[in-house]
Chains A and B, each alone.
Chain A
Amino acid sequence: MLAYLRRIFALIRKEVLAVFQDARTRNMLLLQPVLQCLLFGYAATLDVNNVPYAVLDRDLSTASSALLAKLDGSGVFHRIANLTRADQMKPLIDTQEVLIAIQIDPDFQRQLSAGQQAPVQVIADGRNSNTADAALGYVSSAVESFNADWRSDHGLPQPPIQVVTRAWYSPNLETRWNLVPALVGTLTLMSTLMLSALSVAREREEGTFDQLLVTPFRPVEIMAGKAIPAMMIGTVQATGALLVAQLWFRIPFAGSYPTLYVGLILFLLAAVGIGLFVSSIAATMQQAMLYAFVTIMPFTLLSGLATPISSMPQVLQYFTLINPLRYAIDLVHRVYLQGAGIDQLVPDLWPMAIIAAVTLTGAAWMFSNRIE
């Protein structure tokens, strides 16, 4: 048993040295997740907070300027043009100088005073319909707030039913709270899968894998020697990303670290299993890299990272069941933001364990049965 451990330890040492002897590789593996986490934590927001707009105010009344004051005071809208003719709108939108254009009709105030509905026409640039929707949402809430003021200024009753909203776990509905913890899983999946896929392929390409096979090492030991260093690097990377989330973005950590790391290690085992399986079917580094990439793409896109799983077609929702990243993102969210304990995580843990078991067994079988 001791000899067994010593052999695996020797393999791990060799592998770590092989990866870390090159300063460029070392820096890239350690810095890349931290940098990406920082960059994308800022970039990936579905909220809009800077909407340039143009206005064609044909009423020029106190009511219309009160409405525009609501927009200007929201901190979201920036008026960049006061228009005088309707045909000035199109060029501004076409060249993306404004995201929305607002038109207020000449009898806006008169209609309001007469107790009628007064339309506010809003044109949005739909090139990115998601951004446009978000901006339109803000226009609606500014108009709602204007209406409430108008009612109270004119002694009118407020609407009979009010909606009171509260958000759990992320009170301001910030996309970043959702995204940055999810990146912990995504970034580590990318590098551990590639690292493990390439480590075997590199030895194949250089011919040293055959040498390894004729040593007294058993295939299982060789695999452990490849898997454990990749998992160690993955753990370090995940820690880096977690530190960015907490220390830089100040997203409060609600759970316990041992729980999170138990989950992450299981996830890394699954990721490495997939990577080793990929490398067992690839003949060259290029193939390993490309197959790894073809695997990572659907895993990332179908993980719930960018878009909700419940909006996907049923067939693809079934596919997400074999996607370790889906469980990892859910797990990190639950532990990080909701403070879930290990007993609540069982639905995420056992699928990852099965994925790890299947892929590692498959890879071991391929290694021992495929010697050209």
Chain B
Amino acid sequence: MIDHPSSRLAAKARRVAALIRKELRQVVRDPSSVAIGVVLPLMLILLFGYALSLDVKNVPIAVVLEDPSFQAREIAASFQLSSYFETRVTRSIAEAQELMLSNTVEGIVRVPADFARRSAQGDATVQVLVNGIDGNTARIVEAYAEAAVAQSGARLAAEGQADSSAGGQAVVVSQLWFNSANDSRYFLVPGLIVLVITLIGAFMTSMVVAREWERGTFEALFVTPVRTDEILLGKTVPYILLGMVGLLLCLGAAKFLFDVPIRGSVPILLTLSMLYLLVSVAMGLLISSSLKSQFLSSQVTLVVTFMPALMLSGFIYDLRSVPLTIQLISYLVPARYFVSLLQTLFLVGDVWSVIWLNAAILAGAAIVLLTLARRATRKSLS
């Protein structure tokens, strides 16, 4: 019998389709797969969209008003009226320090007793004490205190009560490009897509494949006429589909729930997401085929893929500011390139130099990882 190429191809396609069907059935039947494919993305969307915000609001602070003068009360009032703070006015510093020690307040603004007298002379001080443990909040309290005091100083000057004669000064006029409203969702939501794809692609695949190794069903597959590549294909396609569901959920939420603009082209965004999904799946395959234990591969996958996607991808923390060694390590994290792509495609547009560079690196990573995964699967047979 002559083995016709097209019939060989048809047989191959049929085998892969059968494997995919089996895997898909398993996915649909197991409630935990639905949990990770649908519930987890939804949960992350809601958490990232609504819960996580680095914008500071309602910080409890104490204002110590030792000076009952009008100017002093004006400074206290500017804190009371601000939505950044929840202010408690106390009369003595001891009382405020007590509140700070018990963590009831995060900062103290102290207007000393001689404030009005000294501000007339032009050398008054306002003391700000912050709880340095949360450096971010502390800086905001500090910056706000400076702004409130500067305002009040300017008003005093305008009313001719203090001598701050019109010296020239440089003032900063700033523009925040790509996110003029300074909404932290604009960078959290694209980052969320990276996390969801990493989770579904790598974590899910590595769990499933490790289970087959643990139970010995993988070896059973090898004695069938199905080839290694076909097995790998059959294993990955369902999770790529599941990842697409998660991706579409995230994109929908970004656009319709959180009004994050998508300034680049959507087909490019989808194509590159598929590419990153492939990279994640390959990492999951490689880890599970090398370790062959569900507990180990789930832990390793978490540490090697998910945590770096959160911490070392530049999604929250700026990679330019970390020590050189960590920067070098971050170049090994595929999520880094995808974060760069997503932030650009969402907020800036199709910047081709950014797209080509990062897409090429991701494609290279996909090829290398898939080759390694294939080898790890084959080798383990012998």
A: which residues have CB within 8 A of B? 22, 24-25, 28, 32, 35-36, 39-40, 42-52, 67, 93-96, 99, 108, 111-134, 136-137, 139-140, 143, 146-147, 150-151, 154, 156-175, 177-178, 190-191, 194, 198, 202, 282, 284-287, 289-291, 293-294, 297-298, 301-302, 306-308, 310-313, 316, 330, 333-334, 337-338, 344
Complex: chain A residue closest to B191, CB-CB: A128
Select one of B142, B291, B330 contacting A24, CB under 8 A.
B291
Is A166 a contact of B348 with CB atoms below 8 Å?
no
| 5 nearest A-B residue pairs (beta carbon) | A170-B132, A126-B179, A167-B132, A112-B168, A156-B167
When distances are taken between beta carbons in the complex, the residues of chain A under 8 Å from B351 are 94-95
B: which residues have CB within 8 A of A? 30-33, 35-36, 39-40, 43-44, 47-48, 50-60, 100-103, 119, 122-139, 142-143, 145-146, 149-150, 152-153, 156-157, 162-180, 182-184, 186-187, 199, 203, 207-208, 211, 291, 293-296, 298-300, 302-303, 307, 311-312, 314-318, 320-323, 325-326, 329-330, 340, 343-344, 347-348, 351, 353-354
When distances are taken between beta carbons in the complex, the residues of chain B under 8 Å from A151 are 167, 169
What CA separation (Å) do A310 and B39 show in the bound complex? 26
When distances are taken between beta carbons in the complex, the residues of chain A under 8 Å from B134 are 178, 308
Q: With A128-B187, A160-B157 known to touch, is A139 a contact of B124 (CB < 8 Å)?
A: no
When distances are taken between beta carbons in the complex, the residues of chain B under 8 Å from A136 are 172, 174, 176
Shortest C-beta distance, A78 to chain B (Å), equals 9
Residues of A contacting B: mostly:
helix
Q: With A96-B354, A121-B175, A293-B40 known to touch, is A286 a contact of B294 (CB < 8 Å)?
A: yes
Complex: chain B residue closest to A63, CB-CB: B170
Is B170 a contact of A118 with CB atoms below 8 Å?
yes
What CA separation (Å) do A172 and B186 show in the bound complex? 29
Is B124 a contact of A160 with CB atoms below 8 Å?
yes
Q: With A111-B168, A157-B165 known to touch, is A25 a contact of B321 (CB < 8 Å)?
A: no
What CA separation (Å) do A250 and B342 show in the bound complex? 37
What 5 new A-B contacts, CB under 8 Å, besides A128-B315, A136-B176?
A: A46-B54, A119-B172, A147-B170, A150-B170, A289-B207
Is A173 a contact of B138 with CB atoms below 8 Å?
yes
Shortest C-beta distance, B245 to chain A (Å), equals 16
When distances are taken between beta carbons in the complex, the residues of chain A under 8 Å from B179 are 126-127, 129, 132
When distances are taken between beta carbons in the complex, the residues of chain A under 8 Å from B325 are 42
By CB atoms of chain B within 10 A, which of A128, A136, A301, A311 has the most?
A128
Select one of A40, A45, A126, A306 contacting B186, CB under 8 A.
A126
Is A166 a contact of B128 with CB atoms below 8 Å?
yes
When distances are taken between beta carbons in the complex, the residues of chain B under 8 Å from A116 are 168
Shortest C-beta distance, B228 to chain A (Å), equals 23
Is A194 a contact of B298 with CB atoms below 8 Å?
yes
Select one of B157, B182, B207, B326 contacting A39, CB under 8 A.
B326
Is B167 a contact of A150 with CB atoms below 8 Å?
yes
What CA separation (Å) do A28 and B301 show in the bound complex? 12
Q: With A150-B167, A301-B52, A307-B53 known to touch, is A123 a contact of B177 (CB < 8 Å)?
A: yes
Select one of A114, A174, A301 contacting B135, CB under 8 A.
A174
What CA separation (Å) do A112 and B167 show in the bound complex? 8
Shortest C-beta distance, B167 to chain A (Å), equals 4
Is B299 a contact of A191 with CB atoms below 8 Å?
yes
Complex: chain A residue closest to B97, CB-CB: A168
Is A129 a contact of B186 with CB atoms below 8 Å?
yes
Is A48 a contact of B320 with CB atoms below 8 Å?
yes
Shortest C-beta distance, A21 to chain B (Å), equals 12
What CA separation (Å) do A316 and B182 show in the bound complex? 23
When distances are taken between beta carbons in the complex, the residues of chain A under 8 Å from B125 are 161-164
What CA separation (Å) do A128 and B321 show in the bound complex? 13
Is A47 a contact of B298 with CB atoms below 8 Å?
no
Is A297 a contact of B142 with CB atoms below 8 Å?
no
When distances are taken between beta carbons in the complex, the residues of chain B under 8 Å from A130 are 54, 184, 187, 316
Can you list 17 A-B pairs, Cβ within 8 angstroms, ordered by A?
A: A43-B317, A43-B330, A44-B316, A46-B136, A127-B186, A136-B172, A150-B168, A157-B165, A161-B153, A165-B130, A165-B145, A166-B128, A194-B298, A293-B203, A294-B43, A307-B54, A311-B54
Is A302 a contact of B149 with CB atoms below 8 Å?
no
